[in-house]
Amino acid sequence: MKVLVTGGAGYIGSHACLELLEAGYEVVVIDSLVNSSVESLRRVERLTGKSLTFCKADIANRDTLTELFTNHKFVAVMHFAGLKAVGESVQQPLRYYQNNISGSLVLFEVMQKAGVKTLIFSSSATVYGAPESLPIKESAAVGTTNPYGSTKLFIEYMLKDLFVADDSWRIALLRYFNPVGAHVSGQIGEDPNGPPNNLMPYISQVAVGKLNKLNVYGTDYPTQDGTGVRDYIHVVDLVRGHIAALRVLSALEEGEVITANLGTGNGQSVLEMVEAFELASKKPVPYEVAPRREGDIAECWADSSYAADRLDWRAEYGVARMCEDAWRWQKNNPKGY
Ligand code: NAD
Ligand code: UFG
């Protein structure tokens, strides 16, 4: 059974490829490498002892995609390809709309033509905007605060509309909370270009001595210690949620759109993450208090009971393990891939 993984060379996609190969699937990756290196895929092959097919192309390239669907019989597509930096999306909205929305549109059209109608899409908790209550259920109001988030929400709408028009599609919209950590081997992990925007890679780079100190964005939020609270989820748990979704979609007798949060259901503050990382790495993580970051919310964590019921999936790893694995990756690969 062959799966097309878009964005498979990236952080989450490479972990998904590894998990798919280990679960016995064949894997074809399409990735433009705009934010990744093919080295991640070489390492996935080494770790699993299995090979995958790699195609370096943009998903907006209709001819290449069509050729892939002609040459391979896919049972499903896992769609990770997309640009994901919130701040950058505010600066370059058209690039984000072009890349994320137009690219997805071409992919869905080619899938429809090829009759491959099983899709797992990387959505995000960002579609909830500033949540009205916690934990966040899938039924919560949606609304976005930046172009990146808008692309995720709009792609969800596109897929829901597609299902209305053709109810044979089997679609999982997986809304990720905050993916962190790395494969236990320390061979694949998150490799941001330039200084990281996100907390966990920033902390890792401070611990390894690449950056001097962490800026803690705001200590006056109405949270346990005044710093922002998020639902951090181990990337391996996250990709196992995709395999679970693939199994459920494949077993459906008729089409459906399943929308599910992938989170742990727990919230950790910035300072709790710093402490957990210091414990795991045995390295100091110096920090300084900085003003709030524009657009940040105080708290966000998932009600993940629907994924438990519907996908028979639960996150297994806690924060200590997320930090240990992130640290192993960082210290083995101080310069990334
Ligand atoms: P990533 O940047 O590491 O991976 C994305 C991959 O897609 C990269 O390899 C990039 O080169 C590729 N890509 C981007 N645009 C492409 C295009 N048009 N054609 C072909 N390849 C393209 O990011 P990630 O953290 O692995 O995220 C994967 C997906 O999950 C993204 O869609 C992201 O928006 C979503 N997501 C991520 C997070 C997070 O915090 N990491 C949270 C929620 C949702
Ligand atoms: N933070 C700092 N210092 C930093 C970076 C972050 O204090 O250098 C704080 C933030 O203020 C926030 C928390 O750490 O309180 C987490 O911030 P991240 O940037 O790691 O994560 P966000 O929750 O802001 O956003 C991430 C992704 C979004 C995605 C969202 C939900 O960047 O794309 O998770 O999935 F939508």
Which pLDDT tens digit goes with each residue over 94-134? 999 999 999 999 999 999 999 999 999 999 999 999 999 99
Helix axes 270-281, 319-332, angle to 10 degrees: 60
Please tell me the distance between residue 262's alpha carbon and the centre of ligand 1 in angstroms: 16
Tens of pLDDT, residue by residue over 27-67, are 999 999 999 999 999 999 999 999 999 999 999 999 999 99
Determine which helix (DSSP H) or strand (DSSP E) holds 239, and give its type and residue range.
helix 235-251
249 lies in some domain: yes
The atom number, within ligand 1, closest to the CA of 36 reads 9
Neighbour count for residue 217 (Cβ, 10 Å): 17
For atom 6 of ligand 2, which residue has the closest CA?
Answer: 199
Please compute, for residue 74, the number of CA atoms within 13 A of its CA located in the half-sphere on the CB side: 29
At residue 79, what are phi and psi to the nearest 5 degrees?
-110, 95
The whole-number pLDDT of residue 194 equals 87
What six digits make up the tokens of 74? 């896919």
Residue 228 contacts residue 297 (beta carbons within 8 Å):
yes
pTM of the model: 0.98
Please tell me the distance between residue 216's alpha carbon and the centre of ligand 2 in angstroms: 11
Please compute, for residue 109, the number of CA atoms within 13 A of its CA located in the half-sphere on the CB side: 13
Q: How many domains does the chain divide into?
A: 1
Residue 188 contacts residue 44 (beta carbons within 8 Å):
yes
Beta bridge partners of 262: 176
Q: What is the DSSP letter of 107?
A: H
Strand (E) positions, the chain?
A: 2-6, 26-31, 53-56, 74-79, 118-124, 170-176, 178-180, 214-217, 229-230, 232-234, 256-262, 268-269, 287-290, 299-300
Residue 168 belongs to what domain range? 2-183+233-264+302-316
Tens of pLDDT, residue by residue over 131-171, are 999 999 999 999 999 999 999 999 999 999 999 999 999 99
CB of 81 sitting under 6 A from ligand 1:
yes
Considering the chain, what is the average pLDDT of its residues?
A: 97
Round to whole Å and give the CA distance between 29 and 20. 12
What six digits make up the tokens of 329? 């990756």
Q: Is the peptide bond before 222 cis (omega within 30 degrees of 0)?
A: no
275 lies in some domain: no
**Banded pLDDT at 290 (limits 50, 70, 90):** very high
For atom 19 of ligand 2, which residue has the closest CA?
Answer: 198
The atom number, within ligand 1, closest to the CA of 191 reads 3
Share of the chain above pLDDT 70, in %: 100
Q: Is the pLDDT of residue 295 over 90?
A: no
* Mean pLDDT confidence for 232-244: 98
Tens of pLDDT, residue by residue over 180-220, are 999 999 999 999 988 999 999 999 999 999 999 999 999 99
CB of 181 sitting under 6 A from ligand 1:
no
17 lies in some domain: yes
- Domain CATH code at residue 169: 3.40.50.720
Probe target for ligand 2 pocket from 190, 203, 293, with the most ligand atoms within 8 Å of CB: 293
10 lies in some domain: yes
**Banded pLDDT at 227 (limits 50, 70, 90):** very high
* Mean pLDDT confidence for 211-237: 98
Residue 323's nearest CA partner among 261, 232, 229, 239 is: 232
For atom 6 of ligand 1, which residue has the closest CA?
Answer: 7
Share of the chain above pLDDT 90, in %: 98
CB of 31 sitting under 6 A from ligand 1:
yes
Residue 306's nearest CA partner among 138, 78, 153 is: 138
Probe target for ligand 2 pocket from 148, 270, 273, 274, with the most ligand atoms within 8 Å of CB: 270
203 lies in some domain: no
**Banded pLDDT at 87 (limits 50, 70, 90):** very high
82 lies in some domain: yes
Sequence-ordered alpha helix ranges (H) in 115-178: 147-165
At residue 35, what are phi and psi to the nearest 5 degrees?
-135, 35
Ligand nearest to the CA of 337: 1
The whole-number pLDDT of residue 264 equals 98
Determine which helix (DSSP H) or strand (DSSP E) holds 68, and give its type and residue range.
helix 62-71
Catalytically active residues, by annotation: 148
228 lies in some domain: no
